[in-house]
Amino acid sequence: MGCGEKKAVSYLLNTVSLLLSPEYCLLSPEYCLLRLIHLFISKSMSEITLQINGKTQTCLPATKLPQMLENLGMNPRLVAVEYNGEILHRQYWQNTEIKEGDKLEIVTIVGGG
């Protein structure tokens, strides 16, 4: 089972636990099942998980690399990026879409003397 599958199973089990809690016990089984399906689909489609400098982060699917950098508060002109173990040349950044499980190492360029 891959990382994404483990996350989905974990989320599903947590959602089932929530639906079995006392405040939901009085609801019909049909409602609980429909709510479970809705929560599972909306959560699994709403964000992806990746590693940035060794820390787990999330972002929306189809986020481009420059947007991800800006979301992190970084100036894309002042960083170098290793994308899944390879230095990614700046010319490819605009077309690089962040995917589930990606690993980024971002190094800030610092001037000085």
Q: What is the mean pLDDT of residues 11-24?
A: 63
What pLDDT was estimated at residue 104? 96
List, in order, residues 6 or more apart from 87 with CB less than 8 Å away: 80, 81
Beta bridge partners of 87: 82
Q: What is the mean pLDDT of residues 12-22?
A: 64
* Interval 42-86: pLDDT, tens: 665 678 899 999 999 988 888 999 999 998 899 888 999 999 999
Going from N- to C-terminal start, the domains of the chain cover 3-46, 48-108
Specify whether domain 48-108 bears CATH 3.20.20.140.
Answer: no
